[in-house]
Structure 1
């Protein structure tokens, strides 16, 4: 499309296909994502605190396994913080700016016996109880309180707390990838 046609023709075609003139700024997008996330989190917390009922347990819902992992998102310094860090290289007496908060995000995927999957996630420091959040997710899926579920995760402490604090019969195992990493470190 680019080489045989002129810029004006390509621009008109792209404007017809894509909503180019309806752009949103990155700060606007961040604010919208934050608002939706806050609403979802408030909805989950109200259910955890008993302000809302869960759907009844469905005897046909069987979760084969629940895979859980976490990732750390690093704080990206602002342009001013980056400039101050560059200045600190040349003027060592000036302290470098703080690196800012890192965010630990937990994500999980429940695999049902029919092959379908459901996902959940949360920011570790932002929830009152990781065990309550796990129980909430399973209750929202219609899982019975006495159903045994195997959780596949690494050896991170936040998963151990979630499994040990849960009111459900959960069986936690380490995945092969993380077992191999531990042996490689030894």
Structure 2
């Protein structure tokens, strides 16, 4: 920190932040960031670092880290894994990588394929394309898609620019493209999960010895539905969600896997449930119990699951059915006690 003097009084403070990074080889990378703070702004309430100062610091730190990591990975990919020699250099270009803390321009070398491993092939590849194919970090893609799915695209773009050192090119069109791209990838992931889950649809019986109460053979699916209504009363964009938790049976079992889907098709719900069960150890055999509220849409799941699968109604909805009868019985008991107090039985004595 340095203080500039003017007229014998301290008028400004210059903060110099030095960023230093050291790799395993002992190489040191340093970068300095300068922040000017005027004491006259204290009277206006300008105390401490502002959002713009934070953007400047984080952008400089991100630039140093990304450049160092990109250089390290490029050097690692230059070594041929077969002959353990350096690959030939095709050329050196630059690549702009978009991150949550601004755009970083890094050197992007292209290496030639090893001729001993690939004889007769003259092909070059960019190593940075392997770790950043979208020219944007996965964190920025996820954050942009998350905001774009919860609010209008223009508002999401303004919020990103308000708190993050992003470039003016991060417009509503960019937010829309990234949101759609992430949605398409999620759809592809769901389709792949369903494809793998269909191999578990064969009905099987437990071939091992039946052990009552063995929690390793018990799997529970707690499933329910939620109806999402549109904020606009005149809109017809209402849909239904299926929310479920898949885990082990027995008391005290923690964890489990959750999934949410808007597809209420019988096969889609079954495939998502089987994929979640595999994450907790389901291998196609074992006792599966489906707990739901008895809705018609949820009765499809037990019929589509591998056998043996049992379907029961959860205690909350059973209590909702029993509670009215309990209330009627209590009301009848109270009414009878009140009537007995008002009209006690009269005893008639007879004399001989």
TM-score in same-fold range (> 0.5) = yes
Q: TM-score, normalised by structure 1?
A: 0.61
CA–CA separation in structure 2 for the residues paired with 1:131 and 1:75: 27
Pair 1:112–1:41, CA change in 2 (3 A): same
Contact 2:264 2:297 in 1 (8 A): no
Aligned length: 156
CA–CA separation in structure 1 for the residues paired with 2:276 and 2:302: 13
1:160 equivalent in alignment to 2:299: yes
Contact 2:225 2:242 in 1 (8 A): yes
> Of 165, 171, 175, which residue of structure 2 is paired with 1:21?
165
* Cα RMSD (Å): 3.7
CA–CA separation in structure 1 for the residues paired with 2:222 and 2:262: 17
1:102 equivalent in alignment to 2:228: no
1:115 equivalent in alignment to 2:254: yes
1:31 equivalent in alignment to 2:31: no
1:68 equivalent in alignment to 2:223: yes
Deviates more, 1:99-108 or 1:129-138: 129-138
Give ranges in structure 1 of 5+ residues lacking alignment: 51-58, 78-84, 86-96
CA–CA separation in structure 2 for the residues paired with 1:21 and 1:43: 36
Q: Secondary structure at the match of 1:6?
A: coil
Q: What residue in structure 2 maps to residue 55 of structure 1?
A: none
- Deviation (angstroms), 1:46: 2.5
Pair 1:29–1:178, CA change in 2 (3 A): farther
1:12 equivalent in alignment to 2:167: no
CA–CA separation in structure 2 for the residues paired with 1:116 and 1:66: 13
Pair 1:158–1:109, CA change in 2 (3 A): same
- Deviation (angstroms), 1:143: 1.0
Deviates more, 1:35-44 or 1:124-133: 124-133
Q: Secondary structure at the match of 1:155?
A: coil
- What CA deviation, in whole Å up to 9, does each residue of 1:160-184 have, x standing for no partner? 1111222231222222222334456
- Deviation (angstroms), 1:139: 4.2
Higher-Rg member (1/2): 2
1:47 equivalent in alignment to 2:192: no
- Deviation (angstroms), 1:48: 4.4
Deviates more, 1:66-75 or 1:13-22: 13-22
Q: What residue in structure 2 maps to residue 80 of structure 1?
A: none
Contact 1:63 1:110 in 2 (8 A): no
- What CA deviation, in whole Å up to 9, does each residue of 1:96-133 have, x standing for no partner? x5x22322211211223652311223223467443344
- Deviation (angstroms), 1:40: 1.6
Give ranges in structure 2 of 5+ residues lacking alignment: 1-43, 59-99, 102-163, 200-207, 209-214, 326-352
Contact 1:72 1:105 in 2 (8 A): yes
Q: TM-score, normalised by structure 2?
A: 0.36
Contact 1:130 1:158 in 2 (8 A): no
CA–CA separation in structure 2 for the residues paired with 1:128 and 1:149: 17
